[in-house]
Each structure stands twice: as C-alpha cells, then as structure tokens.
Amino acid sequence: MRYLSVAEIAKKWNISERSVRNYCAQGRVIGVFVIKYLKKTEI
C-alpha cells in the first residue's frame, strides 16, 4: 500500500494543503497517520 502526502492529496482533490490537514485533524479522512519525527501527515 502506498501512502500519499498532504501535498499529493491537496493536488488530487484540488484543495489547499491546509484544508487537507484540517480534514485530517477533524477525523474526516480515514487512514491518516502522522510521522512525528518528520512532522508530516500521511494518508
């Protein structure tokens, strides 16, 4: 399984990266995890 970055999802969904991060924080996106040592969110 390949995970997608916030930037990739934002481009795919045609929304801002901030919106994707907000959706993830609100639990609106299934399968989200955060790589804390890189401070990245992956979907």
What's the pLDDT score for residue 24? 85
Contact between 27 and 20 (Cβ < 8 Å)? no
In a domain, 1, yes or no: no
User: Which amino acid, residue 7?
Assistant: A
What's the pLDDT score for residue 31? 80
The label of the residue with tokens 């399968």 reads 31
pLDDT in tens, the chain (43 residues): 688 888 999 999 999 999 998 988 888 888 877 665 555 655 5
What's the pLDDT score for residue 2? 80
Structural domain for 26, as ranges: 6-42
What's the pLDDT score for residue 3? 81
In a domain, 30, yes or no: yes
In a domain, 11, yes or no: yes
Q: Is the pTM of this model over 0.75?
A: no
- Structural domain count of the chain: 1
What's the pLDDT score for residue 18? 93
Contact between 42 and 5 (Cβ < 8 Å)? yes
